[in-house]
Structure 1
């Protein structure tokens, strides 16, 4: 029986990258969209794991594009990137708050670079409901790497079977299941709310 709800951030509580934000990033980089996104994602994992800084990441993107970004352009790209990932789902924030009030232990694991992590800490005070916040840039592991999930288990001092992991990406769900976690593939707040309600009912019997 799970005693802890382990949430993904982007695509679950926070919204996926906004189309307007994507357009601004491409325009700021001055590149074609296909080339920009190929470089953006190919180089993203080390940035998410905290192995490179934001400015280093954007200079690597520039190099992959055959371009050069000066300090001002790098600053604009950093700001645009943060803005593009900053919207949250108010229904899911409410669900988090209700689950905390009901006595659930809450944890969060997210693939997120340091600059964006700081933004969330400064502007999203609902993070206080989480007993554990595992940002990839701080733990050195990113989903679906098995060690990202094992790190959470160690930090929570729980066996995987005591955790329900909620994520919107099938590959992340499969990796969590492989180490023994209970899982829910997120498709919307209504379904997540129902799953938690059913667990709550079972927990009370």
Structure 2
């Protein structure tokens, strides 16, 4: 299969969940225990509805809990979204790429509640030259508007950018704009991520 010849790489965009970090196992199970499968689906829809920053996630979750008569404190349930496991070896790769003179930016769909936790508690932004949270951009992947706003801020043409994400829809959307977008599978580990990055360095 023919692969394009890319110009020198100037920026790497990395997704967070499924690429650098993951939720600790147990959130889905706990939501099912609290309110069953319909509540689980409603809670996940509430999360998606907050990714562009127009709604506050704890409030949206509380509304879902009331609809399903879930007997628990909303603040306690919301804490499950903050139980994040960051892989330090993957962050070491980020640091190594930046040491080579390539800018690295975080490109992640997050609602404000979780995004601020990543920034202020986990201090994830400190490993990056820039961080693009969907709740701040007002657009979420795979919306093309997310990527155009990122490219505009970076001031780089799409062909100089490598984007890595774990969701095929996000990869396809980035490719449609001319970005070199690659799919990462968590199970390939830090070795798989290193191989993807090395292919353009």
Question: Please, which runs of 5 or more residues in structure 2 have no aligned partner?
Answer: 1-6
- Other structure's SS at 1:165 match: strand
What's the TM-score once normalised by structure 1's chain length?
0.85
Cα contact 1:39–1:64 (8 A) shared by 2: no
For residues 2-43 of structure 1, the C-alpha deviation after alignment (integer angstroms, 9 at most, x for no partner) is 31000001000011x33223333444xx211x1122112223
Distance 1:26 1:43, change over 3 A: same
Q: Which residue of 1 aligns with 2:85?
A: 87
SS at match of 2:163: strand
Deviation for aligned residue 1:199: 2.0
SS of 2:174's partner is helix
TM-score in terms of structure 2 length: 0.87
Question: Contact 2:51 / 2:109 at 8 angstroms: preserved in 1?
Answer: yes
CA RMSD in angstroms comes to: 1.8
1:31 aligns to what?
35
Cα deviation, residue 129, structure 1? 2.7
Aligned counterpart for 1:6 among listed residues 13, 18, 27: 13
1:50 pairs with 2:57: no
Decide whether aligned partners of structure 1 residues 159 and 64 sit closer, same or farther in structure 2, where only a CA change above 3 A counts.
farther
Determine whether 1:100 maps to 2:98.
yes
Residue number in structure 1 paired with 2:157: 159
Task: Give the alignment partner of residue 116 of structure 2, picking from 107, 115, 118.
Answer: 118
